[in-house]
Each structure stands twice: as C-alpha cells, then as structure tokens.
C-alpha cells in the first residue's frame, strides 16, 4: 500500500508555501514570496504579508497540484502551519486549509512551524537519529532545540532562544544601516566573501562568563547590531570611508561564531552527536562552513537541508504532517485557531 499523499500549507510570515509529499518523497513545492513588497519598508509588514497570502494562496495551490500531477481529490490529508508566526498571516493559511478540509472531507493537522523546520530534513537525508540537537536560525527565530521525537507532545524541548533580535533580523537591520537593501542576509553573505572577518572585533552576545550561567544556550544580537551602528557612525564622523565588505565580514563572523559555538556546546553538554541546521539563515555560506568545521572537530554529524528547504516552505509542513499520519496521531479537526506564540513542545494542535 502506498504512503498517504499530504498537502502542506505554510503562511507564517512573508512566503506562501504549498507542497505535496507522499511519505518522505517530495512531489511538488511551490513558494510565492512577498519579499519585494516589504523591501521598501526594510522589513516584513504584517498587514502587507497577510494580503499577499490572500492573493497568492489559490495560484500557489494550483501550481503545486499541477507540478505533482495530482487532483485535490487525490489528497489523503492536509497539514497547515498553526504557529508560531504573524497572526494575520497564519490566519490566512489556517482558513484556506480548513476550507479545503471541509470541502474535500479530508483530515486536517495544525502543526508547529519550528517542528516542521526540523522535519524537513527527512526529505533530504532520511531518518533523523534521535536524540539530536537542532539549531534553527531565521528572521523571526533563533533557537536551540533538543529533539527526542518529531511526532509526540513534548518530543522537542527548547534549550535556548534569542532574548531580543533573531539572527536574520540583525542581518536585515545591519544591511539597512549600510544601505544594502532588504533582505539583508544574502547581500551581506556575498559581500562578506570580499572582506576581512578579522578587520573589526564586534561583540559576541551572551558569551561572557557571567552570561553563560543564566543564558548558556540563549542568543542576543541586538547589542551586536548596535555596535555595528556605532562603529559606522564613528567612522563617518571622523570622515573615514566605510569599508563595507569588512564590516559585513566582521559582523557575519560575530553572528556565526556565536551560533556555531553554542550549538556545538549544546551537543557536547547533552552527549549528542547529531546536529541539524535549519531556518532561512541556514543557507548562509559562512554559518554552514564554520559549523561544519566545528562539528568535524568534535565528532558531531552535521545535517544541513538543501538551501531551498531551509527557508519557509510547504514541504516542511507536508512532511511533518506525513510523519504525524504515519504515527497514528489524531487529526486536529476544524476547531483550532492560529497560535502566534505556539510553543515548540506542541508539535500538533
């Protein structure tokens, strides 16, 4: 008997994702991004994102079904992001999924966005050895998770998270102050390859001895962003030319140094030898390289989904839905709502 066909819908932020997965085989993964609509604001505007989801949902669904060569009636179940994320954006996806589930008389699963970032690795690498540590890095989240199980309540535990700006958010803010546009991650990553990461010693947040007592696995990038702004301001006041590539390289090195060091520390503390990297910033070349070096040094296996599966997408929602169906978890039904602060311990609502 073939694996069930799962439709996944993702709308937690600025990307409308629809995908079809059969078991752990990805049949189609279509994403409509509204990033250009947010560019002039230098960041995601929730109201703009919600309207973009409304406009993109049906066309994205149609493209995904066409690419997979399936009809909606062929679907066995539907999975949708219930949270965390922007409330208005989440509501669009949840409403679309409920309408489809009701019209098609199919079971519906409301799933956790962060858990889905972990599950998406199954599409590339297969079974995830557990326990594992997951480092999720994006514009909205920077988290260290201990993964004991993907489909059980409490199977994922948060070890640490950002206490202010997420890493991706810091990239966007630094890019804006340097006049590099939005989103900041790709352009800073590109320019950093042309600069000297040792040119400027920017601070490493929450790495001082006293910070490690309370915030050993937590992150803070607000101070780093401020340090970059002050350095640039001072250089301008002194009439010096801003070495943009060096600033980018030094800023990126500070971010990646902290992320990789804390992730490896979490693995060693818990005696775990598998580290999963996920989230939009997981596509960053320096982060992938530095994590690879440090994991190899400590005998840790690093799993990195292909860059196209790191950013928000329907594939990660669909594969988590498929795992929940396979595990025999009960469906969510139609009564649940969007949950902007859904804790990672609740993989299913």
Contacts of residue 263, Cβ cutoff 8 Å, sequence gap at least 6: 133, 135, 144, 275, 277, 291
d(CA 29, CA 331): 23
Indicate if 279 and 145 belong to the same structural domain: yes
Residue 333 lies in a domain: no
> How confident is the model over 74-98, as pLDDT tens digits?
999 999 999 999 999 999 999 999 9
Mean pLDDT of 97-106: 98
Q: Residue 345, SS3? A: coil
d(CA 70, CA 11): 22
pLDDT at 43: 84
Indicate if 262 and 186 belong to the same structural domain: yes
> How confident is the model over 249-269, as pLDDT tens digits?
999 999 999 999 999 999 999
Instruction: Give me the number of domains the chain comprises.
Output: 2
CATH of the domain at 22: 3.30.420.40
Q: Could you list the residue range(s) of the whole structural domain that residue 259 is in?
A: 128-305
Angle at 203 between CA 214 and CA 187, to 5 degrees: 115
The backbone torsions φ and ψ at residue 32, rounded to the nearest 5 degrees and listed phi first, read -110, 115
Residue 349 lies in a domain: no
Structure tokens at 157: 């535990």
Indicate if 275 and 320 belong to the same structural domain: no
Q: Residue 151, SS3? A: coil
Indicate if 242 and 264 belong to the same structural domain: yes
Indicate if 112 and 78 belong to the same structural domain: yes
Indicate if 106 and 144 belong to the same structural domain: no
Structure tokens at 240: 């010096």
Indicate if 133 and 273 belong to the same structural domain: yes
The pLDDT confidence band at residue 275, using thresholds 50, 70 and 90, is very high
Indicate if 149 and 63 belong to the same structural domain: no
Indicate if 88 and 234 belong to the same structural domain: no
d(CA 194, CA 248): 9
> How confident is the model over 178-202, as pLDDT tens digits?
999 999 999 999 999 999 999 999 9
């Amino acid at each position: 008997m073939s694996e069930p066909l799962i439709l996944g819908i993702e709308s937690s932020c600025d990307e409308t994702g629809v995908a079809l997965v059969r078991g752990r085989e990805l049949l189609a993964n279509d994403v409509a991004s509204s990033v250009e609509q947010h560019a002039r604001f230098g960041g995601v505007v929730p109201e703009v994102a919600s309207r973009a989801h409304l406009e993109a949902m049906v066309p994205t669904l149609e493209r995904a079904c066409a690419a997979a060569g399936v009809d909606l009636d062929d679907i066995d179940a539907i999975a949708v992001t219930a949270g965390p994320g922007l409330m208005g954006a989440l509501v669009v996806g949840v409403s679309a999924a409920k309408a489809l589930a009701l019209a098609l008389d199919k079971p519906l699963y409301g799933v956790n966005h962060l858990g889905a970032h972990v599950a998406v690795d199954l599409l590339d690498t297969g079974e995830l050895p557990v326990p594992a540590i997951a480092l999720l890095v994006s514009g909205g989240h920077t988290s260290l998770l201990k993964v004991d199980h993907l489909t059980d309540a409490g199977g994922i535990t948060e070890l640490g998270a950002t206490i202010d700006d997420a890493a991706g958010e810091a990239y966007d803010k630094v890019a804006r102050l340097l006049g590099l546009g939005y989103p900041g991650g790709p352009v800073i990553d590109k320019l950093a390859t042309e600069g000297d990461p040792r040119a400027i010693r920017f601070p490493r947040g929450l790495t001082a001895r006293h910070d490690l007592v309370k915030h050993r696995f937590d992150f803070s990038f607000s101070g780093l962003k401020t340090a970059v702004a002050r350095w640039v301001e001072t250089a301008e006041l002194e009439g010096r030319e801003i070495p943009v590539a060096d600033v980018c390289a030094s800023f990126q090195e500070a971010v990646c140094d902290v992320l990789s060091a804390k992730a490896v520390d979490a693995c060693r503390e818990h005696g775990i030898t598998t580290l999963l990297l996920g989230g939009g910033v997981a596509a960053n070349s320096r982060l992938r390289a530095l994590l690879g070096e440090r994991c190899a040094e400590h005998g840790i296996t690093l799993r990195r989904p292909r860059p196209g599966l790191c950013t928000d997408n329907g594939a990660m929602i669909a594969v988590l839905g498929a795992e929940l169906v396979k595990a025999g978890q009960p469906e969510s039904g139609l009564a649940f709502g969007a949950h902007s602060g859904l804790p990672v311990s609740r993989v299913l609502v």
